[in-house]
Amino acid sequence: MSRQLQSRRAATDRDLPGSMGFDPRSVSEFTAARLSVYLRCLEALESQGIRHATSQALARRFDLNPSQIRKDLATFGEFGVRGVGYEVAVLKRHLTAILGRDRIRPIAIVGAGHLGQALADYRGFRSGGFAIAGLFDDDPAKIGSATRAGVRVRDVESLPEAVDREGIRIGVITVPAAAAAEVARRCFAAGLKAILNFAPVRLHAPPDVRLKNVDLTINLETLSFYIPRE
């Protein structure tokens, strides 16, 4: 290994998790989403025993844009070595820390219908660094019951206490459109700082809360638009 690469590796390892100074609010959602893609690409390379990769190699292999890769990563620091590229394991650890996947993030799901229960039972959350801390509802017939995987349904009235006691910062809304605004208000009041909304209605959040609306119908209609008409 070259002296330059050893020096850069020592620096990046020393700076590793979370010491890089950047304001998440200044980073666009598109950039954050691309970081997730890059992390998955790096995980694939590492599993194949590949130790170094240039932005061009990443772009060719995973159908990405090399200049976009360099621009996105430059937002968070200098990771590459000229003539060598990125050290896969080190860059992977950096992106893992930047995306908050180096710790377990508890999640509260509000709405114990079919979608809410399916998400509560989804095992993929665990491998992604997330854990379902609770499933909440206001239906007396559901409160106290459990999903197939054993996640117990709690009274939504206990959400503020759970958020405070269990350090929950992320919420997922899976209720009908008519109830979504009130559920969102409860989530904001409880202290949740990031909301993923699956209700088929567009919600708006206070300035200190990050909210992402996911409308499955709109996504399906967009896909339908591109299907050739008979």
At residue 21, the pLDDT reads 61
What digits encode the pLDDT tens for the residues 161-205? Answer: 999 999 999 999 999 999 999 999 999 999 999 999 999 999 999
pLDDT tens digit sequence for 50-69: 999 999 999 998 999 999 99
| Residues with pLDDT less than 50, the chain | 1-19
For the entire predicted model, the pTM comes to 0.79
How crowded is residue 229: how many other Cβ atoms within 10 Å of its Cβ?
Answer: 4
172 dihedral zone (left: phi>0; alpha: psi -120 to 50; beta): beta
- Would you state the pLDDT for residue 48? 95
3-98 CATH fold: Arc Repressor Mutant, subunit A (1.10.10)
**98 torsion bin: left (phi>0), alpha (psi -120 to 50), beta (else):** alpha
pLDDT at 212: 95
Write down the pLDDT at residue 230.
65
CATH topology of domain 105-220: Rossmann fold (3.40.50)
Q: Where are the domains of the chain?
A: 3-98, 105-220
Query: Phi first, then psi: what are they for 85, rounded to 5°?
Result: 100, -155
